[in-house]
Structure 1
Amino acid sequence: MGIKEQEKVLILTDDNKINIANKLYEEAKNIAKESYLFVMKPRRVSGEQLPLEVEELMKSVDVVIAATTVSMTHTNAKVNALKSGTRVASMPGITEDMFENGAINANYDEVIKLTEVITEKLTKAKYARIEKDGYTLNLNLDGRSGVSSPGVYKNKGEGGNLPSGEAYIAPIETGVNGKMLIDGSMVGIGLLKKPLLVEIENGKIVKLEGDDDNKLSILFVSEENHTIAELGIGTNSAARLTGVILEDEKIYGTVHIAFGTNTSFGGKNQASCHLDGIILNPTLYLDDEKLLENGRFL
């Protein structure tokens, strides 16, 4: 985060992550001019909007580190904090193990380099195609811009997940069709013992099959919730499959798709959730270029 001595730092957390937040707060006090610790009740689902009071507090500091139970990455509070110049690190589901092992220990010079290359390819592409085990999902990307999330946020208005390592984009909401297996992990479930099969027509889920699909009822509360939101590509070679989406979606050579809100990164769908699912060892085309073959960057 590149925190400087003259800066103000906010550690934002909830009741479930208070132990980690306390450690971050104690460390921030050793570095920054002012440090604040704000505790709220856990949000119910990823992407749920934050109270306006929290948003105003986020805009008033130089750096926000959010150690929370579920993700606030795709919220208005985070977007508006970035617009005000605040640097934001979102750490949904963070554990002490994740501080000691895995994605956060990557060579971030390498992560940045690959992430920027893939982001540029996403921006230039008009469509994407994911293939896996006989299933195909086609995504219209025309006119949408890729987003780089390298996990390094040292300049005003930069932000994203920490740890990170992904390039992602909001597909055209009505322009996604096909079937795909989600076989790594899924927000709301965790690690998947058996794959979920999702069928999408004109950007909306029309069928979802799997042993734990009953845990994803939030998707069908509204049309917006089961609308495609994101295509992401993992670029962090140190990331592991843990069941915590914060690390899982960064795994080198994986692809993830998400449903729900995408207004925070160039989309038009505002929902009450943002749920990601990890696809292991996919083959991925951007236009006519095969970018991944069975999870291997070409």
Structure 2
Amino acid sequence: MDERVRRHAEILVDHCTDIAAEDDVLIRAPTPAEDLVVALHERIGEVGACPSLSWLNSRAGRAYARAMDADDFRLNEPRLAAMEETDVVIMVTGATNAFETSDVDPGKSAAASRANGPILEERLDTRWVITQHPTPADAQQAEMSTEAWEAFVYDAVNRDWDAQRAFQERMVEILDPAEEVRIVSGDATDVTLSVDGMAAANDYAKENLPGGEVYTSPVPDGVDGEVTFDLPVVRNGREVEGATLRFEDGEVVDHGAEKNGDVLTSVLETDEGARRVGELGIGMNRGIDEFSYNMLFDEKMGDTVHLALGKAIEECVPEGREFNDSAVHVDMLVDMSEDSRIEVDGEVVQRNGTFAFEGSETE
């Protein structure tokens, strides 16, 4: 077995989820990720914990969704029961066909998300992590060779996460006490987000592997302005390009897209919370320097920010504050590498992708 796969499994078990002998661990993975699944079982066995495995099949999922009526989706009770008995969840992605679900009605995807919302709620109460196993299909989507994609994935995953944490903590110290953030990019994006009283968090590969962002949840009614997401997002196998959103008092009041606008509309129509921003994230992983059409990596890329429509992040919303709830959490990216800036309480903290503090304690 490729030693990079074993190292990937070690990071997932030892760093990301800190698995101990008493833990029950659920692994959800597609069949192309068999090598990583085997390595995970090996490492979990060395720790003495108890694993269970749920294989995922995108062709089966597509067949089911296309056959179902949107009104017939209901909560998967066995999956919920399994999640309730789980201490740790490791979710692995890796496609045989990155666009397998591209001909599924996006309205059905939204319906399925609504029906299975309680499973998401239960999973968020576990120790969980999402990661990527490199496959040729994902390499094609990233427009890379298989070998180059593997190197890209493992270089992003196998990092000094203590050093990354220290770098990102500089941004946490700025964002955590802040009242307002303004994002400006070219002529198309100028949006302000109230973060008054909300907590900032440091993603150093505890719930996402790779990690590499600082994030918070805006005040639900505190977002105003316009955003053009000039990097595409792939949602359920369909690529949305040139998405634009206009916010008033926190809510999307107008939207559009250059390609697959119906996918964006279906997200917004999922529920009331899907029309508000649940997360503001600032990418800070300098080891990810190439757009890959894979949000797990792209949202961590230096020179980007992302806004997520939908569910807020519990650790960022103090008790007693309004929490934006939704069955979806959909990240969308803004390129901040040129003619762009991030302002925090009126002070520029990043310009054209470079942080004001970068160079002092960042290497």
TM above 0.5? yes
- Is structure 2 residue 169 aligned with structure 1 residue 141? no
Which one of 109, 134, 138 corresponds to residue 95 of structure 1? 134
Residues 247 and 177 (structure 1), Cα distance of their counterparts in 2 relative to 1, 3 Å cut: same
Using the alignment, how far apart are the partners of 2:190 and 2:35 within structure 1?
41
What 5-or-longer segments of structure 2 have no aligned partner?
1-13, 63-74, 96-112, 136-148, 318-322, 357-363
Instruction: Point out which structure has higher relative CO (alpha carbons under 8 A, 6+ apart).
Output: 1
CA apart distance, 1:150: 0.7
Match of 2:245 in 1: 198
Using the alignment, how far apart are the partners of 2:327 and 2:174 within structure 1?
30
Using the alignment, how far apart are the partners of 1:16 and 1:257 within structure 2?
31
Aligned 1:1-298 pairs, distance under 5 A: 1-2=14-15, 3=18, 6=21, 8=23, 10-15=25-30, 19=34, 22-29=37-44, 31-39=46-54, 51-59=79-87, 63-68=88-93, 75-81=120-126, 87-91=127-131, 94-96=133-135, 97=149, 100-134=153-187, 135-151=189-205, 159-188=206-235, 194-210=241-257, 211-216=259-264, 217-239=266-288, 240-267=290-317, 268-281=323-336, 282-298=340-356
In structure 1, the residue corresponding to 2:274 is in which secondary structure? Answer: coil
- Matched residue type, 1:118: M
Are the aligned partners of 2:227 and 2:244 in contact in 1 as well (CA < 8 Å)?
Answer: yes
Q: Output one character per residue of 1:89-137: Cα deviation in whole Å (capped at 9) or x when no partner.
A: 222x653546744421333233111222212221111000000112300
Residues 174 and 243 (structure 1), Cα distance of their counterparts in 2 relative to 1, 3 Å cut: same
Q: Output one character per residue of 1:206-261: Cα deviation in whole Å (capped at 9) or x when no partner.
A: 22222222222122232211211110011111123211111111011311001101
Are the aligned partners of 2:89 and 2:123 in contact in 1 as well (CA < 8 Å)?
Answer: no
Are the aligned partners of 1:183 and 1:192 in contact in 2 as well (CA < 8 Å)?
Answer: no
Residues 221 and 148 (structure 1), Cα distance of their counterparts in 2 relative to 1, 3 Å cut: same
In structure 2, the residue corresponding to 1:22 is in which secondary structure? Answer: helix
- Percent identity between the two aligned chains: 24
Residues 8 and 233 (structure 1), Cα distance of their counterparts in 2 relative to 1, 3 Å cut: same
In structure 2, the residue corresponding to 1:58 is in which secondary structure? Answer: coil
Residues 182 and 286 (structure 1), Cα distance of their counterparts in 2 relative to 1, 3 Å cut: same
- Matched residue type, 1:138: T
Are the aligned partners of 1:132 and 1:283 in contact in 2 as well (CA < 8 Å)?
Answer: yes
CA apart distance, 1:20: 5.5
Are the aligned partners of 2:277 and 2:310 in contact in 1 as well (CA < 8 Å)?
Answer: yes
Equivalences, count: 278
In structure 2, the residue corresponding to 1:53 is in which secondary structure? Answer: helix
Q: Output one character per residue of 1:172-223: Cα deviation in whole Å (capped at 9) or x when no partner.
A: 0001000011112325178968522221111111222222222221222322
CA apart distance, 1:16: 6.0
In structure 1, the residue corresponding to 2:85 is in which secondary structure? Answer: helix
- Matched residue type, 2:256: E
- Matched residue type, 2:349: L
- TM-score, L = length of structure 2: 0.67
Stretch moving more, 166-175 or 257-266: 257-266
Bigger-Rg structure (1/2)? 2
Residues 125 and 20 (structure 1), Cα distance of their counterparts in 2 relative to 1, 3 Å cut: farther
Stretch moving more, 169-178 or 263-272: 263-272
What 5-or-longer segments of structure 1 have no aligned partner?
82-86, 152-158
Residues 244 and 130 (structure 1), Cα distance of their counterparts in 2 relative to 1, 3 Å cut: same
Alpha-carbon RMSD:
3.2
- TM-score, L = length of structure 1: 0.80
Using the alignment, how far apart are the partners of 1:278 and 1:117 within structure 2?
22
Using the alignment, how far apart are the partners of 1:119 and 1:258 within structure 2?
19
In structure 1, the residue corresponding to 2:228 is in which secondary structure? Answer: strand
> Which structure has the highest helix share of the two?
2
Match of 1:156 in 2: none
CA apart distance, 1:4: 6.7
